[in-house]
A and B are shown apart, each in its own frame.
Chain A
Amino acid sequence: MTSHYQAVGWNGQKKRYDFTLIACLATYFALFVPIALWRHPDMTAETMIIRSFGLAAFLLLHVILAIGPLCRLNDAFLPLLYNRRHLGVTMFLLAFVHGTLSFIQFHVLGDINPFVSLLTSEWHYLAYGWVPFQPLGAAALFILFLMAATSHDFWLANLSAPTWKALHMGVYFAYFLMIAHVGFGILQSEVHPWWAFGFGSGFSLILTLHLIAGWRERRHDQPSELADDWIRVGLVDEIPMNRARIVCGSGERIAVFRYDNKISAVSNVCQHQNGPLGEGRVIDGCITCPWHGYQYLPENGQSPPPFTEKIPTFQVRVDANIVWVNAQPLPAGTHVSPVEIEP
């Protein structure tokens, strides 16, 4: 969380995160090279680099895609989410090395325009059952480039969180293109069943995790009980101390927090990346987003100075130990006196 532009807001956790990432990649390459040389002793350096970087990018994309649903299913995975953008940019760089070297090796050295060659060379073989896998990879790389180039908070702030998130949903289309690129590419010549098994297991895991997390969330998103615009949240004691209970209004989710013998309600949506505030905690008197640590004061939804983020607030009342929240959001940053409760 910063109040001014900064290339990367380094902190201890980000450094540890990136160090772990680099260590994992170093281990991967240390394993890949001897195994590849054992299986293909005559493999050239170019082929080695193309294949190792391509596989690394593909594996890393699976890790990235698994983090979101894993966090929604179990908050023990939240630390992985914290710096996921660095994973994404790293994955793009790996794919870029793979794509660029392939482009040079297979297209630049010919006597036609290399871009024309990339996009057209394989179409001649359609009649032989060949599926042009290289344009699929190039399209995926272009999407990954757009996402990596706009991954910084600068773009997040300027595009707005919803637009930014919509743009970054392109990763799912890129994933589909990469699946087709790998399936109609390397899987045609690497016919050992382990390759097909690994490939199938990877996408099965990703699809299963996302579908389970999505269905579970959809079930929880059923509109809550309404009485004259007031939503029944539950008994006071049902809201854990310094945490929230999330209810679903007519539009968006509402996070009702209990802290310091008070109850306040704010939008569940963090201004930063639309993270789920209601899954965070009250730390140092501030609601703290579980994704990246953005903070808001419970009584007015404003970030503490000098920060300027604001989220909508909601009126709350307690009748006979039952907490109610008004479904109509107040403008972002509106002060609402917290409801005092018995200790």
Chain B
Amino acid sequence: MIRTHRRRHLSFFVVLAVLVPVVFTWSITRRQVVPFAENEKSATRLIAKLDPWQKKAATGEILESDTGRFLQIVLNPDSRIADPLVYISSQAPNSQALPNDARLLGIPGTLITFPDLSSGYLIVYSLAHEQVIDFVPFEVKQL
């Protein structure tokens, strides 16, 4: 009875001793590179610098590589924003709320796949505070 449990217990931990380090290593290595590593950046072309931000809370650029277009937004180190998210919209926000057509793209500091849109607004929104932190217009040629 107890010996069976103990044997099963040991088996569990032999399996865990393999799986847990694998999960740990996987989780650490899959972190997004922020910002681009130099070797990755060289493979991309800058197609639009995002400016002017209304409150200078972030900087950003739209990049192009052989695999598509990407957006990179980096928050100003001094701007402490809880749970920031990046949205795209055809219109500028006129209040603290997101415009109705706003679509979630990703989180700042990561490499975000950029949709095939030529113009609009990129919005940094704090989910924790439920308010627009900053936004910037963009204009790029369509692919």
User: What bracket does the count of chain A residues touching chain B fall in?
Assistant: 35 or more
Chain B 2-29, CB-CB to A under 8 Å as 1, else 0, gives 1101111110111011011101101110
Distance (whole angstroms) from the CB of B126 to the closest CB of chain A:
9
Question: CB distance A40 to B80 under 8 Å?
Answer: yes
Question: CB distance A207 to B20 under 8 Å?
Answer: yes
Question: CB distance B2 to A188 under 8 Å?
Answer: no
Question: CB distance A128 to B82 under 8 Å?
Answer: no
B37 within 8 A of partner (CB) = no
Alpha-carbon distance between A166 and B5 when the two chains are bound, in angstroms = 8
Question: CB distance B30 to A199 under 8 Å?
Answer: no
Question: CB distance A214 to B113 under 8 Å?
Answer: no
A16 within 8 A of partner (CB) = no
Q: Which of A6-14, A41-49, A82-90, A301-309 lies on the face that meets chain B?
A: A41-49
Alpha-carbon distance between A200 and B28 when the two chains are bound, in angstroms = 11
Alpha-carbon distance between A248 and B127 when the two chains are bound, in angstroms = 60
B43 within 8 A of partner (CB) = no
Interface residues in B22-50 by Cβ distance below 8 A to A read 23-24, 26-28, 30-32, 34
Question: CB distance A188 to B82 under 8 Å?
Answer: no
Interface residues in A206-222 by Cβ distance below 8 A to B read 207, 210-211, 214-215, 217-218, 221
CB-nearest residue of chain B relative to A275? Answer: B2
Q: Please indicate the chain B residues that have their CB under 8 angstroms from the CB of A18 in the complex.
A: none
Contact of B28 among A187, A268, A269 (CB under 8 A): A187
Question: CB distance A180 to B113 under 8 Å?
Answer: no
A343 within 8 A of partner (CB) = no
Given contacts A166-B5, A214-B9, A217-B6, contact A44 B31 (CB under 8 A): no
Alpha-carbon distance between A276 and B14 when the two chains are bound, in angstroms = 23
Question: CB distance B3 to A252 under 8 Å?
Answer: yes
Distance (whole angstroms) from the CB of A35 to the closest CB of chain B:
15
B102 within 8 A of partner (CB) = no
CB-nearest residue of chain A relative to B28? Answer: A196
Question: CB distance B5 to A274 under 8 Å?
Answer: yes
Q: Please indicate the chain A residues that have their CB under 8 angstroms from the CB of B31 in the complex.
A: 187-188, 191
B56 within 8 A of partner (CB) = no
Alpha-carbon distance between A70 and B93 when the two chains are bound, in angstroms = 58
Q: Please indicate the chain B residues that have their CB under 8 angstroms from the CB of A248 in the complex.
A: 3
Q: Please indicate the chain A residues that have their CB under 8 angstroms from the CB of B26 in the complex.
A: 183
Question: CB distance B17 to A46 under 8 Å?
Answer: no
Question: CB distance A176 to B19 under 8 Å?
Answer: yes
B143 within 8 A of partner (CB) = no
Question: CB distance B27 to A184 under 8 Å?
Answer: yes
Alpha-carbon distance between A210 and B76 when the two chains are bound, in angstroms = 46
A172 within 8 A of partner (CB) = yes
CB-nearest residue of chain B relative to A193? Answer: B28
Given contacts A41-B80, A211-B14, A214-B9, contact A268 B2 (CB under 8 A): yes
Question: CB distance B24 to A221 under 8 Å?
Answer: no
A103 within 8 A of partner (CB) = no
Q: Please indicate the chain A residues that have their CB under 8 angstroms from the CB of B24 in the complex.
A: 179, 183, 199-200, 203
Distance (whole angstroms) from the CB of A176 to the closest CB of chain B:
6
Distance (whole angstroms) from the CB of B25 to the closest CB of chain A:
9
Chain A 160-190, CB-CB to B under 8 Å as 1, else 0, gives 0010011001001001100110011001100
Given contacts A131-B30, A203-B24, contact A42 B82 (CB under 8 A): yes
Distance (whole angstroms) from the CB of A187 to the closest CB of chain B:
6
Question: CB distance A172 to B27 under 8 Å?
Answer: no
**Could you jot down 12 A-B contacts, CB within 8 Å?**
A40-B80, A42-B80, A43-B128, A128-B106, A129-B32, A165-B5, A166-B5, A203-B24, A210-B13, A218-B6, A251-B3, A269-B2
